[in-house]
Amino acid sequence: MRNFYSITRHELERRCRETGLPEIHASTLFKSAYKTLSDDPLGAPSLPHKMRSAVGDDLEVRLPSATKIQVSRYDQSVKFLFEMVDGSLVESVLMPERRRVTLCVSSQVGCRQACTFCHTGRMGLRRNLEAGEIVSQLVAANRWIASHPNWLVDLGLPPLQRVTNIVFMGMGEPLDNVDAVADAITIMTDPLGSGLALRRISVSTAGHLEGLAQMLSRHPDVRLAISIHSPFDAERSKIMPINRRWPLLDVLTALREAQTQINHGILIQYTMIRGVNDSLRHAEELVRITAGLKVKVNLIPLNEIDPSRFASPAATAIEAFRDHLHHSGLRVMIRYSKGQDISAACGQLVTENTFVSP
């Protein structure tokens, strides 16, 4: 059986055509699944009785079960630990902000890129998520928002009923699973479904250039976030093994090429690690290598969760780094991980529950 949430509206329309049903029923089905958030979209009263047998007899509505939900005391972000049908655990984080609600979704169970400071990287790659397993994280989060109407109101925020932005910054390297991620984006942005704008979806990559080319051919307007983490090639290879396959220079060349086609800025993510990449020498080189690119830099102090050889930088080092970038004309923000009390950072909940050695 295929997961209903993996199916695009166009495929449903094709199925309708092939079985002699009007295509309009595919739109009704999509609205029922993604706008009304129905438990049983194929059984919507406005659909003909034979819809399920004609169009959906090989489809199963598979929502992941939330085995753990934690709400941060500090910023009310909500972390979900979702269990997929095969028992795989992935996490998603819902982050309330002033005029938007962002959902950070996972694209893989684990990750093969093995960045040395990353909890998910220590798991290795268990498997790719299917498009429906990505989309269903959005559906489950929207259902949680609908059942907690006071969540945003208590924060003094507008009562947004739905997720407004998606970031592919959860578990996994999204461009290592590019077909499923691109399909999920097609479904999430369908105007008759969740209707998210493409400019409100960010795909974050450690520099997977093969996947980047494919993603831009499918969704040229999707927002891109590139994790740099070190502006020096040899140092970057030490903390991000993907740099040995796609070196920094090639990544920067690809970004320059991409910016000739896209009309928006690229986000540079820079996780700051004490004594590894937090010096002024690194800040100066980061300015040099990004010259001419339209970028904004997010400095993310490493979120220390368990004893590790890596530590977060001193506040003075973070500020000096930020000031250097700012005075050099770069747009820069310091972003602390949301929900630090609930480990709402890359892969941490899952590793906490299943992979940390006693």
Q: CA 353, CA 211: separation in Å to the nearest integer?
A: 30
Please report whether residue 301 would count as binding ligand SF4 according to CB under 6 A: no
Task: State in angstroms the smallest separation of the CB of 252 from ligand SF4.
Answer: 18
Task: State in angstroms the smallest separation of the CB of 306 from ligand SF4.
Answer: 15
Helix (H) and strand (E) counts in the chain: 14, 14
Active site residue 118: no
Binding track over 105-134 against ligand SF4, x by CB under 6 A? ------x-xxx--x-xx-------------
Please report whether residue 16 would count as binding ligand SF4 according to CB under 6 A: no
> How many binding residues for ligand SF4 (CB under 6 A)?
11
Closest by CA position to 13, among listed 51, 39, 44, 46: 51
Please report whether residue 211 would count as binding ligand SF4 according to CB under 6 A: no
C-alpha dihedral, 265 to 243 to 282 to 326, nearest 10°: 10
Measured between its terminal Cα atoms, the distance across the chain in Å is 39
Beta-bridge partners for 225: 204, 267
Q: CA 32, CA 12: separation in Å to the nearest integer?
A: 13
Task: State in angstroms the smallest separation of the CB of 23 from ligand SF4.
Answer: 39
- Residue 95 is classified by DSSP as E
Binding track over 160-179 against ligand SF4, x by CB under 6 A? ------------xx------
Please report whether residue 64 would count as binding ligand SF4 according to CB under 6 A: no
Active site residue 104: no
Task: State in angstroms the smallest separation of the CB of 240 from ligand SF4.
Answer: 7
Active-site entry in 13, 16, 91, 130: 91
Contact 242, 250 (CB under 8 A): no
Q: CA 233, CA 100: separation in Å to the nearest integer?
A: 36
Please report whether residue 277 would count as binding ligand SF4 according to CB under 6 A: no
Among 178, 187, 206, 330, binds ligand SF4 (CB under 6 A): 206
- Residue 353 is classified by DSSP as I
Contact 16, 23 (CB under 8 A): yes
Among 272, 346, 349, 350, binds ligand SF4 (CB under 6 A): 346
Q: Which residues are catalytic?
A: 91, 346
Residues that bind ligand SF4 (CB under 6 A): 111, 113-115, 118, 120-121, 172-173, 206, 346
